[in-house]
Amino acid sequence: MKALNPFLKVFIFLFSFVMIPSCDLFDNDDPPVDESEIGDVLWEHKAFDQDKYFILNSMAYDNNTIYYAQGGGTVIWTPTRINAVNAETGELKWSSAELDHMDLSSDIVIGDGGVIYAIGFYTLYAIDPNNGEFLWTWKVPETITNSDGGELYTFGQIGSLAIAKDGSLVLGSIGSGVYHRGIYGIDKSGTKRWHNLTANEWGATSLVINKDNIAYYYSSLNGKDVIYALDIANGSVLWTKEIDLITSSANNILITDNNSLICAVGLNGEARRLHEIDCSSGDVLWSSIDEVGYLNKIMNHNGVVFFDAPYGIYTLTIGGNGIKNKLIDPHFMDGVKIDSKNRFAMVHNIGFETNLVSYEMDGSQAQNIPYPGIDHRLFLLIPGNKLIVRANNTIAALQADATLSQSGGWPSYAHDMRNSRNVSR
């Protein structure tokens, strides 16, 4: 028999390894491919006791856990509970004890160590993320002693919750009733550090905190609508600016990367426009030419603000020509978020079906994910490119292709998925 060519022997030897599937000679370091396709339903979580509870309008995310509130009901009005759901499986991890009201007066806010904070009506709750137990509660006092020694009645609804840089909390009186409204600083152990009963006449709304630990919010002074700047180290007022404001809890204040405020208000009796305001002085740095709406505003990494106005969703570039650019037809802005692909995502009705729609910055549609009955106010974009939605009394996880933007700008109404309302967190 004629001997094989030596080069042919080498070829056959190497070829045999390539053709053997179980061969470990060549390791495959590529990550496993996720077989889920965009729009796939990953899990559904049904709220319990649906005759006694509704899912309320606040969700938060932290440490692979989704937190939502459940209260009210159709037959029996029931106080609110905070529920924790495993973000991987949709399984209920725990449900807290009942709060002091059948609704929430604040967002669910996540603080240091994952501690959950929420306000029922009169009471601020700190909740253990491991088991849902109350770590402490702080209840607004019935009276506070005035500087002249008199007692001021202060027992009323509280809300407008935000987290300071050091992990302490700032909140304010809201709602109606005859009582002295205040702004309060509460430390991480539930002890009141300070109060100010002269910096909140009709209720504090849209409270946010900048990188210098200054809080900004809308309220009134001597019967006039104003923007307040408050030092949250001690509760002292730094400045106020008179404005004309259509009251809406969705008329949020943005803080730019340059540490200025973006507000949709009227000044000096003029129409409501978008204004850039200096954080340290209250001076106006720039104003739009066109009028704007008074609902939710968000801002991307490049200083482009997205806002509602009559007949559509528009953009304005801070420091630009002040003329708005229409992107899409009318829609609600209060659930809009900027995702990690620098697109704006919102719930939109398409052909009588609710969809999570992602738009490029020029207004062109990038993708849409349908799911029946999505609440346009309540969705999350979490790690793993998961879209978390509320639809009636169901929380569902859908496969997406992006998460929430985590750098620059103001990627959601309350700044992040922890609802911190603080640019430093």
Each residue's pLDDT tens digit, 336-394: 899 999 898 888 877 778 888 898 988 898 988 999 988 887 899 999 999 999 988 89
Structure tokens at 330: 């009318």
Which of 308, 309, 307, 304 lies closest to 320 in space, CA to CA?
304
Strand order in the sheet with 337-338: 337-338, 344-350, 353-359, 365-370
Q: What is the CATH number of domain 37-399?
A: 2.130.10.10
The CA-atom distances, in angstroms, between 219 and each of 17, 175, 225, 265 are 75, 12, 6, 13
pLDDT for residue 397: 97
Cα-based distances in Å from 5 to 9, 11, 242, 389: 6, 10, 94, 66
- Of 111, 95, 89, 13, nearest in space to 52 by CA: 95
Rounded distance between C-alpha atoms, residue 257 and residue 409, angstroms? 7
Contact 106, 171 (CB under 8 A): yes
357 token code pair: 């729609």
The alpha helices in 117-263, defined as continuous H runs, are none
Sign of CA dihedral 100, 397, 60, 338: negative
User: pTM for this one?
Assistant: 0.88
Helices and strands, counts by H and E, the chain = 1, 34
Q: Which residue has the tokens 């909390």?
A: 169
Nearest to 371 by CA among 358, 355, 388, 385: 355
Strand pairing of 325-328 and 116-119?
unpaired
pLDDT reported for residue 51? 61
Distance CA 152, CA 287 (A): 40
pLDDT of residue 370: 92
Q: How far is CA 147 from CA 144, 180, 192, in A?
A: 10, 14, 17
Is 402:343 a contact under the CB 8 Å cutoff? yes
State residue 245's pLDDT score: 75
The whole-angstrom separation of Cα 244 and Cα 374 is 34
Q: Low-confidence residues of the chain, pLDDT below 50?
A: 1-2, 4, 6-33
pLDDT score, position 330 = 66
List, in order, residues 6 or more apart from 398 with CB less than 8 Å away.
Answer: 39, 40, 41, 42, 356, 369, 371, 386, 387, 388, 389
Q: What is the distance between the alpha carbons of residues 406 and 127, in angstroms, rounded to a whole number?
A: 25
Domain spans of the chain, in order of start: 37-399
What average pLDDT is seen over the chain? 87
With beta carbons less than 8 A apart as the criterion, state whether 201 and 213 touch: no
Q: Residue 215's beta-bridge partner residues?
A: 209, 230
At 7 the three-state DSSP class reads helix
Distances (CA, A) of 238 to 189, 199, 227, 244: 27, 11, 11, 20
Identify which of 193, 172, 79 has the alpha carbon closest to the alpha carbon of residue 124.
Answer: 172
pLDDT at 35: 67
Q: In what order do the strands lie in the sheet with 214-221?
A: 205-209, 214-221, 224-231, 236-242
Share in percent of the chain as helix, strand, coil (round to 5): 5, 45, 50
Query: Identity (one letter) of the amino acid at 284?
Result: V
Residues 6+ apart with CB under 8 A from 336: 296, 298, 306, 313, 344, 345, 346, 412, 413
Amino acid occupying residue 51: D
How many C-beta atoms surround the C-beta of residue 208 within 10 A? 23
Q: What is the pLDDT of residue 238?
A: 98
